[in-house]
Amino acid sequence: QKEVEQDPGPLSVPEGAIVSLNCTYSNSAFQYFMWYRQYSRKGPELLMYTYSSGNKEDGRFTAQVDKSSKYISLFIRDSQPSDSATYLCAMSNNQGGKLIFGQGTELSVKP
């Protein structure tokens, strides 16, 4: 079993839809939770990060962490075609600098 599980998709939604992206994990020691966006043939771009549990909002993006369920989510409101990319979750236990990445979910927002 992988430490971090993420549905690879692809996920296709119409413009304006609310998108929910999710990851589950098995290591209860994880403390930092990140979401990266990766456009085709580009490097991962840090979108949001959260320390420990709770919610964090940034514009149209909301990150949620539920440590009791070992489950993290990224919500995108009013999705736009420019949001079409692969979204990677990543997490760490703040010991050793090693980020564990999910496989990434490919999102397509159709106009």
Partner 1 sequence: DAGVIQSPRHEVTEMGQEVTLRCKPISGHDYLFWYRQTMMRGLELLIYFNNNVPIDDSGMPEDRFSAKMPNASFSTLKIQPSEPRDSAVYFCASSFQRDIQYFGAGTRLSVL
Minimum CB separation from partner 1 for residue 30, in Å? Answer: 10
Supply the minimum distance, in Å, between the C-beta of residue 52 and partner 1.
12
Task: Determine, following the binding rule CB under 8 A, whether residue 87 of this chain makes contact with partner 1.
Answer: no
Binding flag, residue 14, partner 1 (CB under 8 A): no
Q: Does 99 bind partner 1 (CB under 8 A)?
A: yes
Interface with partner 1 (CB under 8 A), residue from 19, 34, 63, 107:
34
Site membership for partner 1, residue 29 (CB under 8 A)? no
**Among residues 42, 53, 55, 80, which is the contact residue for partner 1, using CB under 8 A?**
42
* Cis check: omega of the bond before 10, within 30 degrees of 0: yes
3-state secondary structure the chain: CCCEEECCCCEEEECCCCEEEEEEECCCCCCEEEEEEECCCCCCEEEEEEECCEEEEECCEEEEEECCCCEEEEEECCCCHHHCEEEEEEEECCCCCCCEECCCEEEEEEC
85 binds partner 1 (CB under 8 A): no
Query: How would you classify the pairing of strands 11-14 and 105-110?
Result: parallel
Footprint on this chain of partner 1 (rule: CB under 8 A)? 32, 34, 36, 41-46, 49, 88, 92, 94, 96-99, 101-104
